[in-house]
Every structure is written in C-alpha cells, then in structure tokens.
Amino acid sequence: MISCKEAAFISSKNQYREANLKERIQLWMHLLACKACAAFARRNKQLTQLCKEASVKMLSPEEKKEMKALIEQS
C-alpha cells in the first residue's frame, strides 16, 4: 500500500490524466481505505473544475515584454 504522501502526489498528477495505470490503481486502493486522502482527492478535483470554469487568462510573454519596454520608456 502506498503512503498518503504518495497518494496525494498521484492525485495531483491524475488531474491532468497523466498518472499511469499502476499509479491509478494504487491511488484507488488507497482512497478506499483512507478518508483523509479521499477528501484531499475530492478537493483536488474541485480545483481542476474551478480552473476550468474561471476562464483565467494570462498575458503572453510577448505582451509582457512589450509592457516592460513601454514602462522603461516612460
């Protein structure tokens, strides 16, 4: 059985669907037995959901470079 630390780590990786089959099975087994980690995994999934809903947008590195240049000029 994997530790809680490992389980939490895999749970984060799983949010991007990049945990492999072995890891997913280990996580699933752990979550069945451990309520604290199950709660963590739920919140982790919730965060993924929030990020999708939020439509946060970042300025591109080019736009930032442009901004910095304009600030330096003034």
Partner 1 sequence: MGKNELQPENWVDRYADYLFNFTRVRVGDDDVAKDLVQETFISGLKASERFKGQAAERTWLVAILKRKIIDHYRKSNSLKGKTEVRMSYPVHGDQEGDWLEAQAADPESIRENDRIENNELGVAIQNCISMLPEKHARVFTLKTVQGWSTEDVCNELEITSSNLWVMIHRARTSLMECMNEHWFKNT
> Where does this chain bind partner 1 (CB under 8 A)?
8-9, 12-13, 15-16, 18, 40, 43-44, 46-48, 50-51, 53-59, 63-64, 67-68, 70-71, 74
State the nearest-atom distance from the C-beta of 1 to partner 1, in Å: 20
State the nearest-atom distance from the C-beta of 26 to partner 1, in Å: 15
State the nearest-atom distance from the C-beta of 11 to partner 1, in Å: 8
Task: Report the Cα–Cα distance between both ends of the chain, in Å, rounded.
Answer: 60
